[in-house]
Amino acid sequence: MKFELHHASGPAGPRTGTVHTPHGSFPTPAFMTVGTQGTVKGVTPEQVRATGAGILLGNTYHLLLRPGPELLERAGGLHRFMRWDGPILTDSGGFQVFSLGHINRIGEDGVVFKNPLNGDLVDLTPERSIATQHAIGGDILMAFDDCPPAGGDDPAAARERSKLAMERTHRWLDRCVAFHRGRGRDGRQALFGIVQGGTDEGDRAACVEAVCSHDLPGYAIGGVAVGEDTAAIDRIVAHTAPLMPADKPRYLMGVGYPRDIVAAVRSGVDLFDCVLPTRHGRSGHAFTAAGALKLKNAPFREDFAVLEDACDCPACVGGYTRAYLHHLVKCGEILGGVLLTLHNLRLYQRLMADLRATIPGGRWDAFFSRWPCAIGPEEGQAADERR
Amino acid sequence: MKFELHHASGPAGPRTGTVHTPHGSFPTPAFMTVGTQGTVKGVTPEQVRATGAGILLGNTYHLLLRPGPELLERAGGLHRFMRWDGPILTDSGGFQVFSLGHINRIGEDGVVFKNPLNGDLVDLTPERSIATQHAIGGDILMAFDDCPPAGGDDPAAARERSKLAMERTHRWLDRCVAFHRGRGRDGRQALFGIVQGGTDEGDRAACVEAVCSHDLPGYAIGGVAVGEDTAAIDRIVAHTAPLMPADKPRYLMGVGYPRDIVAAVRSGVDLFDCVLPTRHGRSGHAFTAAGALKLKNAPFREDFAVLEDACDCPACVGGYTRAYLHHLVKCGEILGGVLLTLHNLRLYQRLMADLRATIPGGRWDAFFSRWPCAIGPEEGQAADERR
CB–CB of B44 and A83 under 8 A?
Answer: no
Q: Based on the domain organization, do B15 and B135 belong to the same domain?
A: yes
So what's the pLDDT on residue B62?
96
Q: What are phi and psi of B154, to 5 degrees?
A: -105, 105
Same domain, A241 and A339: no
Which residue is catalytic, options B139, B146, B260, B273? Answer: B273
Q: Is residue B136 part of a domain?
A: yes
At A256-294, the pLDDT tens digits run 999 999 999 999 999 999 999 999 999 999 999 999 999
How far apart CA A163 and CA A58 sit, in angstroms, is: 29
- Beta carbons within 10 angstroms of residue A229's beta carbon: 12
Tens of pLDDT, residue by residue over B208-226, are 999 999 999 999 999 898 8
Instruction: Report the distance separating Cα A214 and Cα A211, nearest Å.
Output: 6
Beta strands A121-124 and A111-114, pairing class: antiparallel
Of the candidates B47, B19, B22, B23, the residue with the CA atom closest to the CA atom of residue B33: B47
Between A82, A314, A331, which is nearest B66 by CB?
A331
Burial class of residue B181 in the structure, from the number of CB atoms within 10 Å of its CB (0-12 exposed, 13-18 middle, 19+ buried)? exposed
C-beta atoms of A75 and B314 within 8 A: no
**Same domain? A255 vs A293:** no
Q: Are residues B243 and B287 in the same domain?
A: no
Q: Which of B39, B74, B334 comes nearest A328 by C-beta?
A: B39
Closest chain B residue to the Cα of A37, Cα to Cα: B331
CB contact under 8 A, A321 and B81: yes
Task: Name residues whose C-beta falls within 8 Å of residue A181's C-beta, 6 or more positions apart in sequence.
Answer: none
| Residue A35 contacts residue A58 (beta carbons within 8 Å) | yes
Q: Is residue A288 part of a domain?
A: yes
B143 with B251, same domain: the answer is yes
Are A198 and A50 in the same domain?
A: yes
Residues A254 and A302 in one domain: no
Q: Quote the minimal CA–CA distance from A372 to chain B in Å.
A: 30
Is 90 exceeded by the pLDDT of residue B102? no
Statement to judge: residues A159 and A306 lie in one domain: no
The amino acid present at A13, given as its one-letter code, is: G
Q: Is A254 helix (H, G, I), strand (E, B) or coil?
A: coil
| A91 belongs to the catalytic site | yes
Q: Is the ipTM of this complex over 0.85?
A: yes
Return the number of other C-beta atoms located less than 10 Å from residue B374's C-beta.
23
Q: Which amino acid is at A211?
A: V
* pLDDT of A347 above 70: yes
**Would you call B75 and A321 a contact, using CB atoms and an 8 Å cutoff?**
yes
Q: Measured between CB atoms, which of A37, A314, A334 is closest to B41?
A: A334
Are A143 and A173 a contacting pair, CB within 8 Å? yes
Residue of chain B nearest A62, judged by CA positions: B331
Residue range of the domain that includes B158: 2-273
Closest approach of chain A CAs to the CA of B46, in angstroms? 9
CA A70 to chain centre: 25
B91 is catalytic: yes
Question: What digits encode the pLDDT tens for the residues A48-104?
Answer: 999 999 999 999 999 999 999 999 999 999 999 999 999 999 999 988 988 887 888
Domain boundary residue among B253, B273, B293?
Answer: B273
> How many interface pairs between A and B have CB atoms less than 8 angstroms apart?
105
Query: For residues B303 and B327, what is the distance between their CA atoms, to the nearest angstrom?
Result: 11
Same domain, B267 and B287: no
Q: Across the interface, which of A42, A74, A304 has its CB nearest the CB of B338? A: A42
Residue B201 lies in a domain: yes
How near does any CA of chain A get to the CA of B334, in Å?
5
H/E element, B340:
helix B334-361
**What pLDDT shows up at residue B37?**
97
Q: In chain B, at which residue ranges do the beta strands (DSSP E only) sit?
A: 2-8, 15-21, 24-28, 30-34, 56-59, 88-91, 103-106, 111-114, 121-124, 140-142, 190-195, 218-221, 250-252, 271-274, 285-288, 291-294
- Out of A75, A302, A328, the one facing B323 most closely (by C-beta) is A75
Put simply, the answer to whether A331 touches B83 (Cβ < 8 Å) is: no
Is B92 annotated in a binding site? The answer is: yes
Q: Pick from A66, A136, A338 the residue to mutate for testing the B interface (most B CBs within 10 Å).
A: A338
A137 is in an annotated binding site: no
| Number of separate domains in chain B | 2
Residue A374 domain flag: no
Residues 6+ away with beta carbon under 8 Å from B69: B63, B131, B132, B135, B136
Does the beta-carbon distance from B318 to A83 stay under 8 Å?
A: yes
Which amino acid is it at A222? G
Do A293 and A251 belong to one domain? no
CA-based nearest residue in chain B for residue A302: B71
> In this predicted model, which residue has the larger pLDDT, B345 or B164?
B345
CA distance, residue A333 to nearest chain B CA (Å): 7
Q: Are residues B68 and B164 both part of a single domain?
A: yes
Type of residue at B145? D
Q: In this structure, how many other beta carbons lie within 10 angstroms of the beta carbon of residue A80?
A: 16
Same domain (yes/no): B210, B342: no
The least confident of A147-161, B6-20, B222-236 is: A147-161
pLDDT at B162 over 60: yes
> Which residues in chain B touch residue A38, judged by CB atoms under 8 angstroms apart?
324, 327-328, 331
* Nearest chain B Cα distance for residue A67, angstroms: 6
Question: Is A326 labelled as part of a ligand binding site?
Answer: no
The answer to whether residue B364 sits within a structural domain is yes
Average predicted confidence (pLDDT) for chain B: 93
